[in-house]
Each structure stands twice: as C-alpha cells, then as structure tokens.
Amino acid sequence: MLGAAPILQAAGINVNAAVSRQGANMVDVVRDLITAGSLGKVVVIQTGTNGPVSDEVFASIMALLPPDKVPEVVFMTVHAPRSWVPANNLRIKALPAKYPNVKVLDWDVAAASIQDQLSYADGGIHLATPVAKQFYANQIFDALGRPVLKK
C-alpha cells in the first residue's frame, strides 16, 4: 500500500502504511487512528505480507471496527512468495463469514495479472512501476465503489 499511497491520498483517502509493519501492530494502528479521530466510515486494511497474522489479531482489529461505527471494512489479501501467505489469505477470506461489515479484495489474484509490473528481486511483493501503483489503487477504488477516480 505504501507504493500506491500518493495516488490514494490524491483521491482523498487517508493512508497509514509503513515499511515492514507486522500484523500484530495493526491493532495499535487502528486504535491510534480511532483515538486521533482519523478513522473513516470505510477502512481498507492490508496486513500479512511480513509475517503470520493470527485469528486473534483479526478478532482484535474487528473488535475496534464494529458495524455501527465502521459500516465497511475491506481486507485485502496479500501477494508474496512467503510460507505464511496462504494461511493469512485463508484467514482474510474467512472474515466476511464472521463480520457483517467485512468484504475482501483479493489482491493475491489481482497481482498475478500484473506480475511483470511487480518487483522482481523479492518475487513480486512490491509495486515496481507506475502501472502497478495505479493498478493497485484502482483495485481499492473499485472496492470502494469509486471507479471515477481511475486514470
């Protein structure tokens, strides 16, 4: 998300992304955004690229994002050649069955269609080109029902 942050921010989306952030840190990030009054009615979260994320962490995140306060939470799957990614993606894909305000944006599937635009050295984890950055942002715009922001 960090690579596409300028495009997302230009479209009015508040982005809180950091290098190498771990899934367990997302609970504190969400809590801090709530405390600061910076959390919107729609939240997009991508976590799980840098390590395993437990069901307990997802439950803690969602405890902070109840449907009456955050009507829509979009969790993005992750795309990386790492051993923990398949399990993280399964957990993410199971979230809508547990939480009525969650939907999933399958970045893992989408990223495969632009693999040649992703970083080569790390197996395609990072957005390497302007095309990849715009494509990633467009996936989020579509998930939010904002296709007019596409370029």
Query: pLDDT tens-digit profile of 2-48?
Result: 999 999 999 989 999 988 888 889 999 999 999 999 998 999 999 99
Give residue-wise pLDDT tens across range 58-115: 999 999 999 999 999 999 999 999 999 999 999 999 999 999 999 999 999 999 999 9
Burial class (CB in 10 A: 0-12, 13-18, 19+), 81: exposed
Return the higher-pLDDT residue of 123 and 26.
Answer: 26
Q: Which tokens hold the place of 135?
A: 């494509």
- State the maximum Cα–Cα separation within the chain, in Å, rounded to a whole number: 43
pLDDT at residue 79, rounded to an integer: 96
Residues in the chain: 151
What is the per-residue pLDDT for 147? 66
Q: What's the CA gap between 41 and 133, in Å, rounded?
A: 24
